[in-house]
Structure 1
Amino acid sequence: MGMGKKMLSNYLYRDSIPLHTLKSLLDSSGNSWDLIPKGCKLGVKRDHATVPRIIKIDDSFMRLLGYYLAEGYARSKERSLYQIGLSSMEDDILKDMEQCITDVFGIVPGRSNHVLTISSRLVYHLFTGILGTGKGAKDKRIPSGLVSLPLNKIRHLLSAYFSGDGSVEKDRLHVTCSSVSRRLLQDIGLQLLRFGIFYRLKHERRPVGGAAKEFYDKKGESHVFDLYYLSIRSSYARRFAEEIGFVSMRKEAALNSVLSKEGTPRSIVSGDAILDEIKTVEPTRAEADYLYDIEVEDHHNFLINDFVVSANCDGDEDCVMLLMDGLLNFSRSYLPGKRGGWMDAPLVLTTRIDPKEIDKEAHNIDIMERYPLEFYEAAEHFATPKSVEDAMDMVAKHLGTASQYKSRFTHSTSDIAAGPSNSAYKTLGSMVEKLNVQLALARRIKAVDADDVAERVINSHFLPDMIGNLRAFSRQKVRCVKCGAKFRRPLLSDTCPRCHGRIILTVKEGSVKKYLDVSMRVADEYDISEYTRQRIELIGIEIKSLFESDKSRQMGLFDFM
């Protein structure tokens, strides 16, 4: 390990060992850090203060953290000064700060007037680096790793913080605190909400005073800073007194003296939420180029500024964009002159929907909880819908009445989106697989004619696809695989005239004939019309004549018999 006898005896004499040396010893002996006694302490070279190896997150630690957030600061000078300072003008608070430091770190802080100082590099890095509590007033935060601690621990942090930065009004039940760090007060407020304590956060810009004002006056400058206030009133201030309170005896006595002066809350409680009045709504121009709507599953809402519940737009933004599209990007000159060009054009924009004015298709929707026997008997004989219209209750029969906005269903559901989240059309791979499943389902349903389904699929999908691809193959362009150049017609040469690269077709043989075999198979298995059969045979002959060469076809003896 490169350690001499003198160095080893020095470690034993001082009863200390460098961390890297200790790790080497543990690794070489096959042991872990669990072998080290829990009572060992940590220290730094040229630093007389040592701290426990394990720091418990107990009541003293949480109060010390609260005191630091309210009245603490950190300062350092490279390799010479690492200090944590705490100050208070109240003796009982200063004594509790000192006791907390001793309980947590096992050291006695230095004291000068109303300031306690911890001179320790390890403690400095604990607060500023590991915990991330910040060095000065503007960058202080509650450590992110502690925000979910049980309330019986958080209450000690809050009690100590309010003992430093908090106050109580003299003639009414009103607890406040102030800070130049908005984020810190938001952290404090979030913890208050865990206790069921509602608060308000206010902001004002204030000119500096005292020694700071003299400093800026000498420089010929005027300085204004942002100050934030956290306010707890009425019944929530009473809950603060019951659940948290002050460590400061003076402030605790002041709080108890105004408990009888509880006012009526201005906010309205609704379940586990508070309905608060909105005083003003002001548009704010965003600094970002784009704004996004946050989507939250299940509840569709989220917190703004830690306690304001806001719902996502849920399609509202789509409505606004569609409306603006109709207002800004529309002109009658855009509409095609052919029949049907005006069907979906936004020629009329309305803020009120009259059920009588919507498409007639919506009037033909039935609103029945159960269908009559007459309906099923008509379905068994493939009757037309018009023949059973009198037996069905539909939307059209309720137009102009109060029930036109009501509906009934054969099957109740708690969610309009309930059901399969992914259809078989997406889970099945090829079109052949989808066709096989569709025909198998048609054979099982008595009300469905499987032969008719098979013929409809061939006429509406397979034949148009093969005819279209055959036409595209005969008119296709060719492309060079090397330079990407495209040519309108096949070239006389099989190489590119620009780069001499290989020329390939853009429409493949497989895309033309991919549905030919399955169409012929379906035509054999199902009773389709003779007309459809002949169409399949004719397209097969055309494909065969296009892709098979009579000259290169291998012939046998039977071809001449």
Structure 2
Amino acid sequence: MEVDEEFAWFLGLFVAEGTTSSVNPCIHNADEDLIERAATIATRKFGIEPSRRWTNRAYELRFPAVFREVLYSLGFEDADSYDSSEKVVPDCILHAPRGVALAFLRGFVAGDGSDKTDDNVTTVAFHTTSDDVKDGIVFLLHRFGLVATVSEKTDRDGNRQDIYTVTISGGADDNPLHRILNGEDPYRPKSLVVRIPDALMEVREMDIKGVKQTIPKYLLRRDNVSLEKLESMIADLDSRDLPDVAAEKLDEIRPLVDGDLSYLRVKNVERVDYDGYLYDLQVGGEPIFTANWLYAHNSMDAPLVMSSRIDPAEIDDEAHNVDIMDEYPREFYEATRELRDPSDVEELMTIAEETLGTDREYTEFRHTHDTADIAAGPDLSAYKTLGSMEEKMDAQLSLSRKLRAVDETDVAERIIEFHFLPDLLGNLKAFASQEVRCLGCGEKFRRAPLSGDCRRCGGDVTLTVHEGSVNKYMDTAIRVAEEFGSRPYTKQRLQILEKRIERIFEDDTNKQSGIADFM
């Protein structure tokens, strides 16, 4: 059966409002025109005459029992009955041409969607109790370059199923999904839209001067906010003297605004016949990608394929460079005292790589120390249980003091050189090259207007990078350098950087100078 736009619209309506909980599959909806259109499509496509009746404040469109076979062939679960949480978006829709996929979305919105305008935002929302349908809708929206927000409403009493809401947001009189559904080219939002963090609203309810002006009241009536707006609010709160409870709430939000969240739209896909080498573009740090709603951590570790036969030669080469000996020779220990290069004692050791391709590749994995439980180590590292980054650093330095094999001064030097200094210098550069933002209309300027006012609305302008985010690690870095006896060079670098920061943020508006100061 050809899945064209008409059939796709029908499937969208059925996934939204259909059920197979009785002998006959049914669609329930209060819109008579909608029911009539679905009946016409069913007659034309399947050659069947579904019955109609008014029941329980909605029309019921009932199909013959044989219609189940059509649903099963499309990927719906083959069962006597199942509830709405077990629905799916058929594969024929997920991989369908653009027009067919759009028709499915139109049918779904017509059945169980909502279209609202609230203050300065428009939202188109898809509602479902199925986890698979939620993921399918998000995937289809991704195909059209739209980033959706997903919220979940849970019934605490357990009497009703959880409800997922997939939302596309836009401006006051324009929504990117509206444009696509109308066959127009969508505008591209300047910023990603994210769900409003609960921690942000908890900070708003605290009795802190000026906070309610920073976190607008209209956010109480909305589900999401632009990431750009959220970053602006966090930056403004950072510049204030907040109590510890509020500061802890801000720390909960920081992974969202500091995590370099971005969305790259696929503009074009071209198939190329090529037999040469393929190169993978890697991103630094620890990015997280989603592809077809599968989360990937920039690695090849996800078990996409399970093999029925384990071949030791196929695993990561690093695992081959592990010794499989029950004792080390005396020459090895003597070489460690002389700080010899590992390659000098390579011939003395037996590693897993040497058994590959032999009868011993699955056996003779010896070890030097016995254990009753190979998984007896900690289930959760201190890195996850400790709170702030400063707590983690203090724990690391405390451990380095206890270990004879570790030079605590060297550890402190590395923390300063590879963490604190790059962070301080980077934040200082960001402050020096920052934009300014209007508090009224949100317009940003690369340079502060000479008038001091917004050129668009005349409102006050403010910085987007504040002093608190520039020097937040300065005192900690100096303390570590002094406490662990860092090199004079490291201490001098910190002193110079501290003076640079002080000169930038020094309040000299009321500082009196005499002519002698310039002689």
TM-score between both structures, scaled by the size of structure 2: 0.38
Higher relative contact order (CA 8 A, sep 6+): 2
Larger Rg, first or second structure (1 or 2)? 1
